[in-house]
Structure formats: structure tokens, C-alpha cells
């Protein structure tokens, strides 16, 4: 009586067929394990690339340069229009290495420059923001104020800087008028008029 193996047939080729089956099974396991390793390495590299790719490469950065504390402080200062606090935050942020790669930092700096009426700085920060902002990523969720994409922010910057220019012009005119009134009052006092 003959024995039947996996491939069928008799045992004349049996041990050799079983050996081939074991080698084939071992190769398949090895290929599967290698594919798993390659897949895991590819996934890790992809995640690392998403987290820290530099903006100039075409993929926007998810670099957290501005801390949660800075973002919350800036939110409060922008909400209250606290120009002193905004000035301090601007100084702190611009001293931080690679701040120009973080859209959160650039959003704060753009809004701060617009609030203080520094149109040139606001435009400069806005241009940098356009290079690193990715609408799929957006800004930090730690902001407690409304955040805006760069195109909307540009409209706000234009409006605020125009308003600041108007206020500055009104102040200059008021100071000039006040100066004329002071000169007239001084002249009247000198002439002995009440």
C-alpha cells in the first residue's frame, strides 16, 4: 500500500515533494515578513516627512515653533488689542529660531503688525505665511480667537492698516490744530488779551 502526500500520488516522490513544499512555504513567509518591514519603514518615513518637511519643498510644515503658551498669550493680547503685550510677543517670536516655518507664529506676527499699524512688517509676515500655510493643516487649535487663512488675513491687514493710517492722519491734524490753538493762546497772552 502506498502513502498519499499533499500533492497526491504515491510515496515514490513523497519526501522530496514535502521538502519542496516546506521550502516554498519558508520563502513565502520570508517574502511576507520583508514586505511588512518595508511597509513599516515606509509608513514611518512618510509620517516623519509630514511632520517636518520644510515649506520650500512644496509640502507645508507642521512645525510647532510657537508654544501653546505663546499662542494663548497672543490670543488674549489680540482679543484685548493689548499693543504692549503684542510688541513683547513679537520680539519673543522673532528671536525664536525658525519662526518663519510656523504658520502659527506668522499669523500672530501678521495680526500684531497690523494692529500696531506697521504695514511693511504685516506684508512681510503675510508673504512668509503664504509660503508655509497649508489649509489641510491650518493653525493650532489652541488659538482662542478667530483665525483666518492668508487671503482673508490680507484683506484684514489692508483694512486695519488703512484705518491706522486714517487715525494717524487725524491725530496729526488734531495735533497741528492744537498747536495752532496753543500758539494763538500764547500770542494773546503776550498781548495782554484774556
3-state DSSP call for residue 35? helix
Report if residue 155 sits inside a domain.
Answer: yes
For residue 13, tell me if it sits in a domain: yes
Helix (H) or strand (E) holding 113: helix 103-115
Nearest to 140 by CA among 181, 92, 105: 105
State the residue range of the domain holding 16.
Answer: 1-52
Domain contains 188: no
d(CA 142, CA 107): 13
**Are residues 39 and 104 both part of a single domain?**
no
Domain count, the chain: 2
Least reliable range by pLDDT among 81-95, 101-115, 157-171: 157-171
Contact 106, 138 (CB under 8 A): no
| pLDDT tens digit sequence for 13-28 | 555 666 676 777 778 8
User: For 52-75, what is each residue's pLDDT tens digit?
Assistant: 544 444 444 455 788 889 999 999
Residues 155 and 82 in one domain: yes
Distance CA 83, CA 81 (A): 6
Amino acid at each position: 500500500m502506498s502513502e498519499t502526500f499533499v500533492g497526491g500520488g504515491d510515496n515514490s516522490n513523497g519526501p522530496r515533494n514535502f521538502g519542496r513544499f516546506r521550502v516554498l512555504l519558508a520563502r513565502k513567509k520570508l517574502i511576507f515578513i520583508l514586505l511588512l518591514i518595508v511597509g513599516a519603514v515606509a509608513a514611518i518615513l512618510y509620517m516623519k516627512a509630514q511632520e517636518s518637511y520644510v515649506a520650500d519643498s512644496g509640502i507645508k510644515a507642521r512645525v510647532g515653533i510657537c508654544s501653546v503658551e505663546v499662542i494663548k498669550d497672543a490670543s488674549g493680547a489680540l482679543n484685548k488689542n493689548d499693543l504692549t503685550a503684542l510688541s513683547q510677543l513679537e520680539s519673543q517670536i522673532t528671536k525664536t529660531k525658525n519662526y518663519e516655518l510656523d504658520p502659527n507664529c506668522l499669523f500672530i506676527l501678521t495680526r500684531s503688525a497690523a494692529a500696531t499699524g506697521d504695514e511693511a512688517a504685516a506684508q512681510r509676515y503675510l508673504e512668509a505665511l503664504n509660503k508655509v500655510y497649508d489649509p489641510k493643516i491650518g493653525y493650532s487649535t489652541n488659538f482662542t480667537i478667530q483665525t483666518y487663512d492668508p487671503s482673508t488675513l490680507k484683506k484684514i491687514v489692508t483694512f486695519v492698516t488703512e484705518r491706522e493710517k486714517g487715525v494717524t492722519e487725524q491725530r496729526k491734524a488734531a495735533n497741528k490744530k492744537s498747536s495752532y490753538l496753543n500758539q494763538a493762546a500764547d500770542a494773546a497772552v503776550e498781548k495782554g488779551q484774556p
